[in-house]
Structure 1
Amino acid sequence: MKNIKKEYSNGVVTVVYEPDLCIHSEVCFKGLPDVFQPGTQPWVKAEGATTEEIIRQVQKCPSRALSFYMNGPVDDSEKGPAKAIETGHKVEVFKDGPIMMEGPITLIGSDGRREVVENSCYFCRCGASKNKPFCDGSHKDIGFKE
């Protein structure tokens, strides 16, 4: 994988696109065609919808090829320690496998970027995933045991 990341901003939110993760499900442009326009340059027109609409659509990306981060604090309530927007409902550790967390949660990456995960997600515990922090099944290939 090349780890290419492209960023598109409307000044408030920045959409991050990682083409190596994209499975071309068409969810993005079918849901928000004024923003996501494959075949044009640039293909993400961040000024084509409200920040809230863009965030909601990016959160629907099944491969997580699309993510976002806020360009700065929206208001004073976001200052201080990072907090989850909503708390997960269930966390389950699978024997010799990943950790499953039921959403909605806010995942804050090591680079400070925030990603809201609305449904269940699976986090890597073995360290071999090529899609960290998410599990890609590599634990089976390397024989990961607790």
Structure 2
Amino acid sequence: MVAPIVQPGQTIYSDPINGLVQPHVQANVGSFSVPAGASTYTAVVFSSTLTGNTSSMWSVSQPTRLVAPTTGVYLVHGGIIWPATLATSDARGELRISGAGTPAPGTRVGTQRGSAGNMQAAASGATYLTAGQYLELYLNTQNASAIAAAVTLGITRISAT
């Protein structure tokens, strides 16, 4: 892309400027109930966005999905705050692309082995998404009862195709 040159008195339209900013979104939920049981992975339902510049990347009508508006490599960023009710149980997460049953290549969610309260696990990585594909965060715990975790997850395109 050629660097824009602006002349005095020239009208600057938003499309070229917006095109310089990579699409991104950061969604969150203050309290997400993770069901009990080691065999259950549940997609996190986000309640709102903290920041974002492309409205199509998260929607209340599909609250588990962070959608890639354009094809490229996306940086994954976010984390989980596990409560004290996790006690000595394990808790895990997986990032999955478009409903796949396996983790997305190039991504990682830290495993938490017990929590005294406010223990944090990071979600990170970079993965390739085509336009319209989406990323979801699935959580799992071996705890004997459901627990409530605070979760934030974002994606930012860092490279086009």
Give me the TM-score of the superposition, normalised by structure 1: 0.27
Bigger radius of gyration: 2
Q: Which has the higher strand share?
A: 2
Q: Which has the higher contact order (CA 8 A, sep 6+)?
A: 2
Structure in which a larger fraction of residues adopt helix: 1
TM-score, normalization: structure 2? 0.26
